[in-house]
Structure 1
Amino acid sequence: MKITMKAILINATNDQNEVIDSMMLVFCSAIRYAFKRILEGMNIRILEKEVSHKYNLNIRQSKDAVESARQTILSQKELLKMNYYNYKNKCMAIENILKEKTLSEKKRKALLKKLDKRQRKASNFKNFIDNNKIPPVIFGTKKMFLKRCKGLISNKQWKECRNNRIYSRGDKSKSGNPNLRVIIKNGMTFLEISTLEKTATNRALKIQVPIYLPQKLSRKTGKINGINYRELFVNHVQTGEAYQVEILKKNNKYYCHITFELPKVDLVCTGHNKIIGIDTNPDGFALTMIDNHGNYRWHSYLREHELLYARGDRRKNLCGELVKQVVLIAKAYGCGISVEDLKFKNDRDVHSKFARTKHQFVYRELLTMLHCACCREGIELIKVNPAYTSKIGLYKYCHQYGMSVHNGAAMVIGRRSYKFKEKIPKILKNKFIENKFKDKFTFYNEWKKWSMVSKNIIKIRKEVKNPDLWLANRKELIRFA
């Protein structure tokens, strides 16, 4: 698994800063030139040689520039497909609502207006896809471009936004990275940069700039807090494996993003005997432990309300603290972890309250951090299909073990990692499955069965959509059915 470390260049002289700035100008210009030529259909190999000759770059630097431009185009094409798919589904959802005869005239008018807007956007994305084109791309960000148009920033500031990076891919055959190499001398670390100037032997002139590799020491104990990035990367450099370096200029400082492969760690905590199922929520993790027979052991909820409204850096720190607690619990019990393989899509129009909650749901960051932590600590992590985990947990396990719906879902996630099937209890089958479907019921798959049960419960009382109502009035609802 790869990890990105954020370092910073320190104590650089004015001459070194000028060299780096000139390299950024040339490299970013090469990216923009390659971007235009690729859109015109130019062959990649021919383009690499042309960029190398035109901008006086070595072949590796020109390949990096062309690859960066190519990846930008590919990402734009993927975004086009995703946006078209999302808006197409939004249109279909609105059309289904419009088929209802009970809609008021005011509501119908509002939906028609929304449908027209969605259709225009979907049509716009479809035109780009059909013509094999992409929307205009602004190097330097659209935000800064608009500021420049309004005269809020100077031409110099605008050019600094457009020319602010150097990127170099690693190469194992060249002992790491030939153009942006991290070297260690007398206990100090330097970034060796291959400049555009040539020596008498026609080799690139190199400069060495001190670089600070992050290492957070505790003021009280002097020990390292969190991940020891410096030690991990120094060990990686000594192996001679490849690593990727990108220099970004921001607020007159030069930041280095170094991406390298983490060393493989043997699994010490597995799900052989027990496993912890985790349900990811906007305000924390719901944990439920089961044994290898699928039996309940305990449940807990690691709640952090501040995740819903904290700023970016603070939220990232809170995610790290939650993941740290989960890892410590897994190591204490010597068991593995099971999570949902979540992939949310923005293909539905929702109410403003839910949209706000959904927007603040940092599930990707939580699961990414958890995955990285498990790889570092040797904990087995199993991803399962998230379909109907909350529904099954609510209707089958919550009342039995006195859990919330989130812990019930976590139990289903844990059982699903062991490949257990979730049979529908007889009382639910008898009460909420119509007689005409009971003969064919055994031929349906697991999720189809639970879908039928859920829909019939909602038909009986629409208020049952609220999980707390089912937990509080379960006996009454079953009797009513």
Structure 2
Amino acid sequence: MEKEKTRNPHAQIYHRLRQLFPELPTKYIDSAIYKAKQYPTDRPVVFGGKRLFEKLCKNHLIGEVRERLKKQWRELRQGTLIGIGSKHKTAQGNLLLRFMELDGKLHLRITTGNREFIYAKVLREPSNSKELKLRDGEVYGSVSFELPTPEVKYTKEKGVIAIDTNASPIHLAVAEVSKTGELLSYQTISLHHLLGLSQNSKDQQEWILTHKIVDLAIQKGKAIAIENLKKLKKGNRGDGKAKLRKRLHQWNAKKFLQKLKRVAMLKGVEVVEVNPAYTSTIGMLKYAPQLNIDKDTAGAYVIGRRALGFIEDIPENYEKLLKDKAYLEFALKRYEEREKELREIMEKESNEYKRNALKSELKSVEYAKKLLIHLIQSLQSESSSCEGANGRNPEQGRVAKTTLQSAWRVLRVALLFPILGKVLPRDISPLKPVLVEGVWDRVRSRLVPLEVGGTSR
């Protein structure tokens, strides 16, 4: 009895598992124990998931619903297989899980015991998972292995090749940016041909494309700049944007960029990820009209400049617009008319999905009105409030700071629809007179009559 108390806990678990699974190769047991050691010991663990376990404990679940949850819980609890190998010379790698070529295709050989094997087809998809998992009766898994990381030879010291992914139309915008922030060259790569391909063919074409982009970076001696897509918007069911959601479902930008990062790493090219906030807006409002380029290329250009550490200032004439009460009232009038128009259309529209799209636009219009009203009120409070010491308004600093923090969002609202008549226009060139000269009164007279005076001159 005393001998049983002093036995190594590892050995106790090992022998107990041998009793429960006598046909299982012992290496799987060692791997499972290794995995179990990674779990925290200071709090309870529910294998199969605490959320599912608590649902199954509820008595009101019966019939097919309960059986489906029970199957899902069993798969999560028992359907994970881990096989850990060794890179030691005498270990011969992983004896349980091995890659093999069968009929010209890569397979994973899974040892089940007594020299019996299962052969699983390999899909070359990047993943953070390191286990085989059972899901809906199918086995899914991924394998991690160490690769020698080449020395990074191509960094952002000489500039970057910036990539912007776009869904409508689906393509990549590629911009070459010098170390001093100038746009040197650009191109557009259509991805439309990928939409009709099988997953395997799509993966193959994506790998080929990533190699071409990385080779371009090597040729130019530059790093690669991309968006950090952890918060990539995919759209919501019922938002009236079914075509866009379908396109996003057919092509996963995040997975493509993961492939791109992997190829770049293997070829010694630095990849710089940047915060994507307002890159499209800044490119659309600032660089598209200024450089006569499309808004997607301009967005890629901003990504490249941000990767190099440049901060985007608001153009002087745009700042003047945000302080021009007459222009802001003109913009507000445009949104009020659009709001009235949308409500009239919604009353006549019976199609649910079209109504959802109209509701989405109406919500954006209402939000734009609030921003503009707040900005107009801020300008009025500045001019009507009492002056402080040395003739300065004590509230002016606070208002200016608030305006600066949301300036690009307000600019988007104040410029795009009021001047171009669309929230996401393809042609940005009409903004050039506003950007360069600050001229907006001709736009006002062309689009809508407005009984207010003043121009931005």
TM-score by length of 1: 0.54
User: In structure 1, the residue corresponding to 2:144 is in which secondary structure?
Assistant: strand
Residues 1:261 and 2:146 aligned together: yes
Residue of structure 1 in register with 2:219 after alignment? 332
Query: 2-side partners of 1:212 and 1:74: how far apart?
Result: 26
Q: State the identity as a percent.
A: 21
Kept in 2, the 8 Å contact 1:306–1:315? The answer is no
Residue of structure 1 in register with 2:254 after alignment? 364
Query: 2-side partners of 1:360 and 1:454: how far apart?
Result: 29
Residue of structure 1 in register with 2:206 after alignment? 319
Kept in 1, the 8 Å contact 2:288–2:428? The answer is no
User: More deviation in 363-372 or 273-282?
Assistant: 273-282
Kept in 1, the 8 Å contact 2:210–2:263? The answer is yes
User: In structure 2, the residue corresponding to 1:261 is in which secondary structure?
Assistant: coil
- Partner of residue 409 from structure 1, selected from 262, 286, 299: 299
Residue of structure 2 in register with 1:304 after alignment? 191
Residue of structure 2 in register with 1:276 after alignment? 161
User: More deviation in 399-408 or 52-61?
Assistant: 52-61
Distance 1:415 1:62, change over 3 A: same
Residues 1:470 and 2:428 aligned together: yes
Task: Kindly provide the amino acid, as one letter, of the partner of residue 21 in structure 2.
Answer: Y
Provide Cα deviations, 1:252-294, integer angstroms capped at 9, x if missing partner. Answer: xx99965311211011211111211110123232111111111
Which has more radius of gyration? Answer: 2
Offset at 1:65? Answer: 4.7
User: In structure 2, the residue corresponding to 1:168 is in which secondary structure?
Assistant: coil
User: In structure 1, the residue corresponding to 2:161 is in which secondary structure?
Assistant: strand
Residue of structure 1 in register with 2:96 after alignment? 180
Task: Kindly provide the amino acid, as one letter, of the partner of residue 51 in structure 1.
Answer: L
Offset at 1:298? Answer: 1.3
1:39-438 paired onto structure 2 within 5 Å: 50-56=16-22, 57=24, 60-65=27-32, 67=35, 128=51, 133=53, 167-172=82-87, 175=91, 177=93, 179-180=95-96, 196=113, 207=115, 258-282=143-167, 283-343=170-230, 344=232, 348-349=236-237, 350-353=239-242, 354-433=244-323, 434=375, 435=379, 436=382
Query: 1-side partners of 2:12 and 2:406: how far apart?
Result: 54
Query: 2-side partners of 1:470 and 1:256: how far apart?
Result: 46
Task: Kindly provide the amino acid, as one letter, of the partner of residue 84 in structure 2.
Answer: R
User: More deviation in 292-301 or 351-360?
Assistant: 351-360
Query: 2-side partners of 1:75 and 1:163: how far apart?
Result: 8
Kept in 2, the 8 Å contact 1:341–1:385? The answer is yes
Query: 1-side partners of 2:220 and 2:319: how far apart?
Result: 37
Task: Kindly provide the amino acid, as one letter, of the partner of residue 61 in structure 1.
Answer: Y
Query: 1-side partners of 2:318 and 2:108: how far apart?
Result: 66
TM-score by length of 2: 0.57
Kept in 1, the 8 Å contact 2:171–2:188? The answer is yes
Provide Cα deviations, 1:232-268, integer angstroms capped at 9, x if missing partner. Answer: xxxxxxxxxxxx89699xxxxx999653112110112
Kept in 2, the 8 Å contact 1:441–1:449? The answer is no
Query: 2-side partners of 1:165 and 1:318: how far apart?
Result: 31
Offset at 1:426? Answer: 0.7
Provide Cα deviations, 1:313-367, integer angstroms capped at 9, x if missing partner. Answer: 2221221222122112111111100000012255745224322223233112210
Task: Kindly provide the amino acid, as one letter, of the partner of residue 52 in structure 1.
Answer: R
Higher relative contact order (CA 8 A, sep 6+): 1
Task: Kindly provide the amino acid, as one letter, of the partner of residue 198 in structure 2.
Answer: R
Residue of structure 2 in register with 1:156 after alignment? none
The structure with more strand, counted as a fraction of residues: 1
Question: In angstroms, what is the RMSD of aligned CA positions?
Answer: 5.0
Residues 1:454 and 2:370 aligned together: no
Kept in 2, the 8 Å contact 1:270–1:335? The answer is yes
Query: 2-side partners of 1:182 and 1:371: how far apart?
Result: 26
Kept in 2, the 8 Å contact 1:277–1:414? The answer is yes
Task: Kindly provide the amino acid, as one letter, of the partner of residue 351 in structure 1.
Answer: G
Work out the number of aligned pairs and report it. Answer: 327
Gaps of 5+ in 1: 1-42, 78-127, 137-144, 150-161, 185-189, 198-206, 215-225, 227-243, 249-253
User: In structure 1, the residue corresponding to 2:426 is in which secondary structure?
Assistant: helix
Gaps of 5+ in 2: 1-8, 40-44, 57-63, 69-76, 101-106, 125-129, 324-374, 383-394, 445-455
Residue of structure 2 in register with 1:230 after alignment? none
Distance 1:48 1:346, change over 3 A: farther
Kept in 1, the 8 Å contact 2:159–2:308? The answer is no
Distance 1:443 1:52, change over 3 A: farther
User: In structure 1, the residue corresponding to 2:218 is in which secondary structure?
Assistant: helix
Provide Cα deviations, 1:358-380, integer angstroms capped at 9, x if missing partner. Answer: 32331122101101110111001
Distance 1:456 1:472, change over 3 A: closer
Distance 1:171 1:246, change over 3 A: farther
Provide Cα deviations, 1:130-178, integer angstroms capped at 9, x if missing partner. Answer: xx84667xxxxxxxx99x99xxxxxxxxxxxx99995412345674645
User: More deviation in 467-476 or 268-277?
Assistant: 467-476
Query: 2-side partners of 1:441 and 1:288: how far apart?
Result: 36
